């Protein structure tokens, strides 16, 4: 999976851009984990446990929900889980949904999280 991390030196904000189909994963990094090293470590610990022992782990966030299994890591907007699609026209909802759900392998997520943590350590305050 390709990704690009950037830091805006004017406001010290961090940005993660991922390719089409993985936009939600980039937004999840920023909105849910940000520069919180302890929370990144927490997710990495649970991810490693799930990859080694199986089972499932869920992390509900303010905007996005993460679901981990041995086979996949699913990030989706909370509004998709809570059933808000009825409030949006079908065509608008489909476009929104494509940008609000990302699916990847757990190994890919681990690589992404480790790279993100390395980036924010290197370029953070």
User: What is residue 1's predicted lDDT score, i.e. its pLDDT?
Assistant: 84
Residue 36's contacts (CB-CB under 8 Å, 6 or more residues apart) are none
User: What is residue 92's predicted lDDT score, i.e. its pLDDT?
Assistant: 47
In tens digits, what is the pLDDT along the chain, a chain of 125 residues? 899 999 999 998 999 999 999 999 999 999 999 999 999 999 999 999 999 999 999 999 999 999 999 999 999 999 887 655 455 445 444 444 567 899 999 999 999 999 999 999 999 86
Dist. CA 16–CA 3, nearest whole Å = 7
Cα torsion through 72, 58, 114, 14, rounded to 10: 110
Residue 90's contacts (CB-CB under 8 Å, 6 or more residues apart) are none
Q: Give the distance from CA 125 to its chain's centroid.
A: 23
User: What is residue 97's predicted lDDT score, i.e. its pLDDT?
Assistant: 57
Contact 61, 28 (CB under 8 A): yes
């Amino acid at each position: 999976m390709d990704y690009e991390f950037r830091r805006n030196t004017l406001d010290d904000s961090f940005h993660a851009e991922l390719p089409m189909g993985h936009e939600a994963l980039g937004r999840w990094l920023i909105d849910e984990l940000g520069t919180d090293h302890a929370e990144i470590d927490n997710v990495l610990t649970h991810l490693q446990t799930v990859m080694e022992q199986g089972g499932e782990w869920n992390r509900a966030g303010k905007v996005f929900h993460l679901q981990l299994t041995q086979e996949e890591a699913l990030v989706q907007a909370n509004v998709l889980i809570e059933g808000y699609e009825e409030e949006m026209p079908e065509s608008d909802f489909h476009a929104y949904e494509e940008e609000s759900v990302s699916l990847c392998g757990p190994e890919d997520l681990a690589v992404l999280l480790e790279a993100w943590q390395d980036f924010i350590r290197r370029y953070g305050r």
